[in-house]
Structure formats: C-alpha cells, structure tokens
C-alpha cells in the first residue's frame, strides 16, 4: 500500500479540482464490463460538445482509422472501452486547466503533456513484446493518460499555490535547472505528489496514480507499477530532448533516466531502435492538440 505524501504546500487548498459529474458517470460505466454500448452512448449524448470532440479525436491522425467513424457506438466498437475512457478523460482535463500567466505558458505545457502521453503509449506498444520490460500487461491508453497527467501537479501549484510556484519557476530559469531540482530547494512537497493526490481525488486507478507519484523516483516505486513509472520518465526525457513543449524544466541538455533504462532492460544500443518513428508520434500529438483546442 502506498501512503499519502506530505500535503504541507497544499494544505490551504480547500478543494482540489473535481471532474464534471457526467465525466465521473462515464468513467464508472466505461470501467464496468457489464455496461452496454447503448447506455454509454445515451449518457454521452447528454453532452453534445463532448460527443463532437470524441468523434473528432477518433477521426484524427492520432488514430488514423481508414474509414470515417460517424457515431460514438461505432467508435466504441472499433477502439474499445479503455481507449474511449482515455479520450473522455483527456478532453475533459485539458479544458479544466487553462490560464494566462507570464511565468508559465499553458499552451507549451499542454503540448509537452500530450507529447509525454503519446510517447508513453508509443513506448508501451514497442516494448509489449519484451517479457523483461514489464510492459506487456500495461494498456497503451493507461500509458497515455498517465503520461498526460504526469505534470498536472504543476498547473495545480500555479493556480492554487501561485507564489511558491513563481519562486520555483524563477529559480529553475535563473539557475538553468530542472523544475524538480528547484522545487526540492524551496518547498516541502513536489508536483508529482500533488498530481498523485489529484488523481486519487478523481478515483483514477492505482496503475495511474502510483506512477505519477514516483515518476522522478522510480527506485522507490512499488514493483507492480515500476515499469509504467519508467516509461513515463523515458517519455519525458524524449520530449525534453526533442524540445517538445515546455513544462518548467530549464536544465539543458537533460540527462537520460538511468533507472528507467534499468527497469525497462534497455541498453544504449536498443534505445535508438526503440525510438524509431518518434517524429510521426509527435505529428499525432499535434493532431490531438488541434482537436482539443478546436
């Protein structure tokens, strides 16, 4: 069992953000194998904006489905409950967290976050055939959602603990260091723990919550969740390496996550092969973001 982290920094946050009721309902239904496609489409049909967004995402270059999908029921039949759940959650979350702060570019943050989610999904698919990586049992869309939410604690800090957040950003920028390094010097908690608490509040599964918390301390992560924590760390590194978005890290160049390579049993020789096709994945990220922003 994973104990809750210290909440010193966020003790003044009376209410962490909550998901809209319709999203909570859909998440529960999509987790239930006894739910029918008809029931899910009926509930989703109560929010036509959500329906339109889901169909745009399904028909985007992100999935590259050859034949146009014209209904939610058709999308569920093709992609399955798990994938539709990740789309419902992702489209809702990105809309919840927007801002206009001179210290923090939300557009760049979401570019990076969707990039981390997309590359996490890509890496899991690539590593699924390696029995030693631990990725065979991880659903690619679990990787996408976890990667997307990996940095969500930063926007919670920006909106609810603004003064502390600004100090962290200024220190990271001035000293050209990572957000986490500046955070450790200034505050008693960290963005990963805040992201974990938010995911817990949203009743997301442990397989999402725990890797968010241990993304920067993989060696401390419970073994059952280590592989996904390692995937997230590697996806973050690749997005930083390719300068894909900006999430408050200013160390340059970033260092490869050694512990992630150990957990995933990667060698220096295997990494270039693993990341072949990365450019196409970043193009998918842009397609995803374009739909979310429309």
Is 130 inside a domain boundary? yes
Residue 8 counted as domain residue: no
The reply to whether 90 and 103 lie within a common domain is no
| Residue-number span of the structural domain to which 169 is assigned | 98-293
Q: Which string of b and e fits 256-287 if b means at least 16 CB within 10 Å?
A: ebebbbebbebeeeeeeebbeebeebbebbbb
Residue 82 in any domain: the answer is: yes
> Looking at the structure, do residues 132 and 57 belong to the same domain, yes or no?
no
Separation between Cα atoms, residue 154 and residue 104, nearest integer Å: 10
Considering the domain architecture, whether residues 241 and 198 belong to the same structural domain is answered as: yes
Query: Do 92 and 113 fall within a single domain?
Result: no
Give the total number of structural domains in the chain.
2
Question: Is pTM, for the whole model, over 0.85?
Answer: yes
Q: What is the mean pLDDT of each run of 10 residues along the chain (294 residues)?
A: 58 72 93 92 93 92 90 93 92 82 87 94 93 92 96 92 92 95 91 92 94 96 97 95 91 86 88 83 85 78
The distance in angstroms from the start CA to the end CA of the chain is: 41
Which residue reads 């976050």 in tokens?
Answer: 113
For residues 157 and 232, membership in a common domain is answered with yes
């Amino acid at each position: 069992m994973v104990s809750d982290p210290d909440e010193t920094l966020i003790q003044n946050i009376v209410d962490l953000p909550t998901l809209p009721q319709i999203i909570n309902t859909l998440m529960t239904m999509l987790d239930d194998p006894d739910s029918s496609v008809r029931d899910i489409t009926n509930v989703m049909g109560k929010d036509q904006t959500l329906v339109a967004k889901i169909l745009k995402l399904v028909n985007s270059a992100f999935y590259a489905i050859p034949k146009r999908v014209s209904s939610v029921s058709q999308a569920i039949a093709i992609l399955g409950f798990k994938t539709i759940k990740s789309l419902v959650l992702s489209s809702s979350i990105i809309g919840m967290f927007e801002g206009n702060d001179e210290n923090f570019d939300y557009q760049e943050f979401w570019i990076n976050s969707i990039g981390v989610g997309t590359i996490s999904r890509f890496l899991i698919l690539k590593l699924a055939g390696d029995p030693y990586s631990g990725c065979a049992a991880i659903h690619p869309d679990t990787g996408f959602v976890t990667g997307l939410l990996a940095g969500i604690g930063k926007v919670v800090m920006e909106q609810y603990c603004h003064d502390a957040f600004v100090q962290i950003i200024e220190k990271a920028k001035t000293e050209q260091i990572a957000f986490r390094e500046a955070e450790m010097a200034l505050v008693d908690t960290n963005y990963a723990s805040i992201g974990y608490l938010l995911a817990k509040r949203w009743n997301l599964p442990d397989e999402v919550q725990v890797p968010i918390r241990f993304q920067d301390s993989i060696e401390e992560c419970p073994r059952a969740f280590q592989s996904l924590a390692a995937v997230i760390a590697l996806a973050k590194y690749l997005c930083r390496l390719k300068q894909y978005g900006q999430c408050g890290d200013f160390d340059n160049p970033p260092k490869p996550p050694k512990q992630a390579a150990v957990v995933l049993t990667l060698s220096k020789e295997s990494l270039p092969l693993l990341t072949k096709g990365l450019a196409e994945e970043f193009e998918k990220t842009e397609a995803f973001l374009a739909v979310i922003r429309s």
